[in-house]
Amino acid sequence: MKKILVVDDEKNIRTLFRDELEEEGYEVATAGSGREALDQIEADVPDLIVLDIRMGDMTGIEVLQELRKTHDKLPVIMVTAVRGLKDDFTIWDSHVSDYTTKPVDLDDLKAKIKKALEA
């Protein structure tokens, strides 16, 4: 069973993603902050991370930069409320599997997760 870590500071988003992804057969862990996510990854590396960009303690970009120091191949799907953001971050090209915008189309997110895990 593939393990996914969902990182978002909004509890309702974490719960929604967890419930939807568990229905798809994934094991899902959640983190409400960037620091919590990095601590969880250090303890138990997931197969994929769904990572929000805007969070309180650290941005998703900062989490990604820290993550890439030790886990350069771990698939990451970024979640943002800002449309067109991918064009603004050159880091995305080599360090992110994909991205999606809020409000998230759950079927689209599931398809992106499946594709990233198969890559």
Structure confidence at residue 99 (pLDDT): 85
**Exposed e or buried b per residue across 51-87, where buried means at least 16 C-beta atoms within 10 angstroms of its C-beta:** bbbebeebebbebbebbbeeeeebbbbbbbeeeeebe
Classify 3-107 by CATH class: alpha beta
User: pTM for this structure?
Assistant: 0.92
The domains of the chain are located at 3-107
| 47-82 residue pLDDT tens | 999 999 889 889 898 999 899 999 989 999 999 886
